[in-house]
Structure 1
Amino acid sequence: MAFVMASVDPYSDYSNETDENNSLPRNWTEEDDEYYYDDYYEDQPELRKSLNIMSLVVYSLAFVLGVLGNGVVIWVTGFKMKKTVNTVWFLNLAVADFLFTAFLPLSVAYTATDFHWPFGRFMCKVNSTLSTLNMFSSVYILVVISVDRCISVVKPIWAQNHRSVQRASAVSLVVWFLALVLSSPSFVFRDIAPGMKNGTIVCFNNYASSDDHSPEVVALRSMRHCVMIITRVILGFVVPFAIIVSCYAVIIHRLRTSRSMSGRTGRPFRIIAAVITAFFVCWAPFHIMAIIEMINHMKPESDFSPTLHHVTMIGFPITSSLAFLNSCLNPLLYVFMGQDFKDKVCKSILKVLETAFTEEVSRTNTYTNSMLTSRSKQKSFSDAEV
């Protein structure tokens, strides 16, 4: 794994009536910012401005760090390191995050122009689909990494005989296919319509694919809205998180009871704690907010809670920003901790610098090359340790 966000375009859904003089649903979904824009913000311009500024800062930061960080990961794992099972996992994880962060400028422009979408219906659908695809693919790749590590610790001989780059690549394809299927509703239901302000176009979820306000259509819209949120919470967080926690619980138990591994528990424990903490901190608040929003909007109008409405209005931009940042943290947590990767990055960057200064400092270049050659003969590079 954006989402939220996610952009966090894929993660929040709102099904409400359509304005009588406009095709845009009232309280329409502003999913690229994980909160919707309605009259509430008109009454609190300072709050709206603050949330927009926060979103712009986070989107821009996530774009720069995500593209650069994941780009380096793709470069190193795809072209510099020997192909192993671990590099396959990390490469796919980086690709998922890179695709998501590469499209963040669209969300930046959308927010900066006060939520006017000038990129057309197709890009509205693509942007939302890529965001959801990132969420599911990233989470499931992390699940695969956790299961793979668990098997390697519990059944090391079996893992040694059955783990291969080809099988890892096949599993990765299955993960991408599953993530694509789960994200396809975003492409189907995402739509554009004239905004509340003259001349503006918004990108929102049109779950009924209709402007009809009949009870049947309203019920269909509400049902699809509920199904989308429940699906994302269960399949995008609860089940993956349960599997990840279970795998690392088994790993921790095995490391503590195994004398042969007892001397190597410090590093794995730290990484395990970082993995679980980052995943929980980035995604749990967002999904909790989504559940609160769904429950409140499923209530009859007479039971609608303004307090919960206020909480979700403020909470979605904040929790979505956390989900965004997950795409920047993954390279650090899952790849940069590997000694092999760090060595490769340092040497590759150093090689680029050497090439750039060849004519000016040829003696220094020659000396550095000899040092690198000497060191490379003394070290053997294995899978990135995570």
Structure 2
Amino acid sequence: MTVRMEMQEVFKERKMVNLVPATFFFITFLFGIIANSLFLWVLGFKMKRAVNIIWFFHLILANFIFTIMMPIIGVYLLVYPQWIFGQLMCKLINTLLSVSMFAAVFLLTIISTDRYLLVVHPLWCRSHRTTKCASTISAMTWVLALVFSAPYLIFRVTRLDEQNRTICYNNYAFPNDWEDLNTLKLKRKVQCFLFVFRFLLGFLLPFIIISFCYLTIASKMKMKSLTKSKKPFKVIIIVIISFLFSWTPYHVYYGLSLYPDHYPGLLNIFKVLSSCLTCINSCFTPILYLFIGENFKQIFRRSIMSLFESAFNEYTNSMDQSYNDRLEISVHSTVKDQI
């Protein structure tokens, strides 16, 4: 009887911990779905097709995928650990979450590399930086994100726990014997491998590439005085900082989840923190584009369409000027950017 009461207290505590991120998911879902949908519509149908526009369209699409799953995640957190959506959704939801994460970080890395090439190798970009190439790279990015997320399609299953509740669980070793020692050891090894894999390829390596690209860009622009304006990099820098703060707690949480009995307090803290910050990253990142280069008071005086187009066109025009300045230094003539 005492053990049962203790288990009930644990589950009650978990539900209270889950209540915070669940509430946050529901509150921010409406804003996120509207903001991301409007941006996708403007970028996809109302703006001239360009390399920068293609990058941002796919980046926001990754955010949109995460946003549309927020209500399901919120419900799951409220009824945790019960899973009420069936095995297909158990696999699908977790796979799509992983795809959106990998796609977002890969696209941020691609955008940073694109900025690096524009500044360091402008002549090469003049011949090879095309909308067709950007579309192909974006499509390959989604395929790669899906491949990296495939383990969820394989390992994610539903099963009945000791209290006869259906839970959505990672079965890292295909045998269903949950108590066998050898099976538990194998599951542990696979879980550790997947954590390291996701951390290295989904966070650390992209962050190193992004940091290298922007430090090199800053150095080149300072030495050559390529432009006096900082506008070309404001949007990307803010998005990268947002990504860093949003996804670091996520990877810390999954690292701690390898030892759930050792750090229960920290695990709960980072669970709430990672849930809220990833939600902010997906829902509120688009609004950052609106405030870059725009006076706050003017935002309420302009239509949504004009505001969206101005925010993105300002960034594209600034990159055009930086690109032209670089080409002028390289070939002693002004060449119009082909974006």
TM range (shorter): 0.7 to 0.9
The total of aligned residue pairs comes to: 307
Residue among 176, 180, 188 paired with 1:222: 188
2:24 matches 1:48: no
Percent identity, aligned pairs only, is 32
The structure that is helix-richer by fraction is 2
State the SS of the aligned residue for 1:318. helix
Q: Deviations over 1:286-307 (max 9, x none)?
A: 212322333x36xxxxxx63xx
Partner of 1:274: 238
Could you tell me which runs of 5 or more consecutive residues in structure 1 were left unpaired when the two chains were aligned.
Answer: 1-37, 298-303, 351-375
State the SS of the aligned residue for 2:316. coil
The worse-fitting range, judged by mean Cα deviation, of 327-336 and 148-157 is 327-336
Conserved in 1, the CA contact under 8 Å of 2:42 and 2:305?
Answer: no
Shift of 1:312: 1.3
Shift of 1:270: 4.1
Q: Which amino acid aligns with 1:214?
A: D
Distance of 2:314 and 2:41 partners within structure 1 = 17
Could you tell me which runs of 5 or more consecutive residues in structure 2 were left unpaired when the two chains were aligned.
Answer: 320-339
Distance of 1:166 and 1:186 partners within structure 2 = 32
Evaluate the alpha carbon distance shift between residue 195 and residue 249 of structure 1 in structure 2; reply closer, same or farther with a 3 A threshold. Answer: same
Conserved in 2, the CA contact under 8 Å of 1:286 and 1:320?
Answer: yes
Evaluate the alpha carbon distance shift between residue 63 and residue 196 of structure 1 in structure 2; reply closer, same or farther with a 3 A threshold. Answer: farther
Shift of 1:336: 6.3
Q: How does 1:81-96 map to 2 (within 5 A)?
A: 81-96=47-62
Distance of 2:74 and 2:250 partners within structure 1 = 20
Conserved in 2, the CA contact under 8 Å of 1:62 and 1:327?
Answer: no
Residue among 185, 192, 198 paired with 2:151: 185
Distance of 2:286 and 2:71 partners within structure 1 = 20
Partner of 2:332: none
State the SS of the aligned residue for 1:264. coil
Conserved in 2, the CA contact under 8 Å of 1:335 and 1:384?
Answer: no
Partner of 1:206: 171
Distance of 2:285 and 2:6 partners within structure 1 = 35
Q: Deviations over 1:321-365 (max 9, x none)?
A: 2123211233234576477xx99xx55648xxxxxxxxxxxxxxx
Partner of 1:362: none
Distance of 1:333 and 1:153 partners within structure 2 = 24
2:87 matches 1:121: yes
2:199 matches 1:233: yes
Distance of 1:41 and 1:74 partners within structure 2 = 46
Q: Deviations over 1:157-199 (max 9, x none)?
A: 322332111000000011111100000101111111124544x
Conserved in 2, the CA contact under 8 Å of 1:338 and 1:385?
Answer: no
TM-score (norm 1): 0.71
Distance of 1:189 and 1:62 partners within structure 2 = 30
TM-score (norm 2): 0.80
Shift of 1:108: 1.8
Conserved in 1, the CA contact under 8 Å of 2:87 and 2:157?
Answer: yes
Distance of 2:171 and 2:86 partners within structure 1 = 15
Q: Deviations over 1:190-216 (max 9, x none)?
A: 111124544x32111111122223333
2:223 matches 1:290: no
CA RMSD of aligned residues (A): 3.0
State the SS of the aligned residue for 2:257. helix
Evaluate the alpha carbon distance shift between residue 174 and residue 334 of structure 1 in structure 2; reply closer, same or farther with a 3 A threshold. Answer: farther
Partner of 1:149: 115
